[in-house]
Structure 1
Amino acid sequence: MTSSTPLRIGVMGAHSTGKSLLMRRIEMELHGQGIPVARTGNLGRRAALVPLPKMQHHTLASTTWVIATGIADEIAAWARLEKGPVQVVLADRACWDALAYFRAALEWRQQTAPRAEREALHQLAHAHGRTYDLLLATVLDPDVPVESKHDYDPRYRTLVDRHTHDFLREENIRHVRVTSDPASQELAIEHALQLCMTEAPA
């Protein structure tokens, strides 16, 4: 592994709100600045291959898998040295994200989870999530159309958005809100670049 821990930038938010696009743009900008970067992602697709429940059908097991796998991916991203040390890791779905999806799934199904299970998930995410150097949280814009190939339940998508921002507020987690406004997205990218150019380990 590298001698210095890389910067970690995570993103969370409802599906099809621009999370992956935002991470790809930041990745391209960092490459352009000559900053070695690694990006994680595709957790939803990989969970479906296991297979595990997704979206409004999320369970304790699927949520645990998403959190643990995401953490493992981030660690592996900066431990790979075949192309040289990585200075920045971009987590496309920060570990907190799975908690919002799980909470939204429970509300969508009108169910509750035992307190011990909820606390176990929170502790798993907290141990890793508290060390993000920058956390971006996308905001759902209901007026932005979703591609027809995505058969999303609109009510669940709205619940994920609400639980995402409720959770961040309840836990007092520092983050940058990113709306569908291009100016908001550009500002978030600039924020990430400034952080990486001044704080990334040499």
Structure 2
Amino acid sequence: MTTRQPLRIAILGTHSTGKTTLLKRIEMELRAEGVTVARTGRLGKRAAAAGLPKMHHHTADSTEWIITQGIADEIAATVQGAEVVLIDRAAHDAIAYFHAALAYRGEVPPRLERERLLTLASTQLPKYDLLFATTLDESMPVDTGHEYDARFRRLVDQHVQLLLDQDDIAHQRVTSDPDSQAHAIDTAIQLCLKEALV
């Protein structure tokens, strides 16, 4: 590729909706085409390992850590020469989880804190060349490796969609339907290969 900055493809959505699997499939296809790919991720687990709360225990601090660590991971991937960076959890994903956690606990965040975190997440939007948003299908089996709470999972899905709609954020929705996933993969591959020829 001849672009100075790598292409950035990001994803967000509630847990166990196929985000990581989708990015792995995109990565595999791109590597088969000779494209250098880096994939960020595991931010929730890394936050927990650092002693920060996760899932419905999220706080402003854990949200800020996840956003800023995600930014740092993207920068590191760029410095290492990746042509495409696959971002497993776009910055707004952390905001959705935070808002869902507050709703789950019946809490209201201070307005300035909420606005500050949303502003931080919003600074990342111009960097995404493509943003996918997975949608919840409760008929699909869940990853039992997650701390699973059906109500919290629904709240995250609602807050993801709310953020995307309220801020009119350009994105492509991805459902559990195989055709929807195949279309997302094809969209990502075609974008990357097109840029490689520029």
Q: What's the TM-score once normalised by structure 1's chain length?
A: 0.94
- How far did 1:3 drift? 7.2
TM-aligned CA distance change 1:152 to 1:6, over 3 Å? same
Give the alignment of 1:146-185 within 5 angstroms: 146-185=142-181
Which one-letter code corresponds to 2:192 in the other structure? C
Count of residues in correspondence between the two structures: 197
2:55 counterpart of 1:59: no
Mapped partners of 1:101, 1:200: distance in 2: 35
- How far did 1:131 drift? 2.0
Report what 1:95 is aligned to: 91
Mapped partners of 1:21, 1:183: distance in 2: 15
Give the alignment of 1:24-173 within 5 angstroms: 24-80=24-80, 85-173=81-169
Which one-letter code corresponds to 1:92 in the other structure? D
Mapped partners of 1:150, 1:189: distance in 2: 25
SS state at 2:118 partner = helix
| Alignment check: 8 A CA contact 1:11 1:135 kept | yes
Report what 2:183 is aligned to: 187
Mapped partners of 2:159, 2:73: distance in 1: 24
Deviation larger for 182-191 or 147-156? 147-156
SS state at 1:150 partner = coil
SS state at 1:90 partner = strand
Q: What's the TM-score once normalised by structure 2's chain length?
A: 0.95
TM-aligned CA distance change 1:191 to 1:113, over 3 Å? same
SS state at 2:123 partner = helix
Report what 2:22 is aligned to: 22
- How far did 1:149 drift? 4.2
Instruction: Structure 1: state its 5+ residue gaps.
Output: none
Identity across the alignment (%): 55
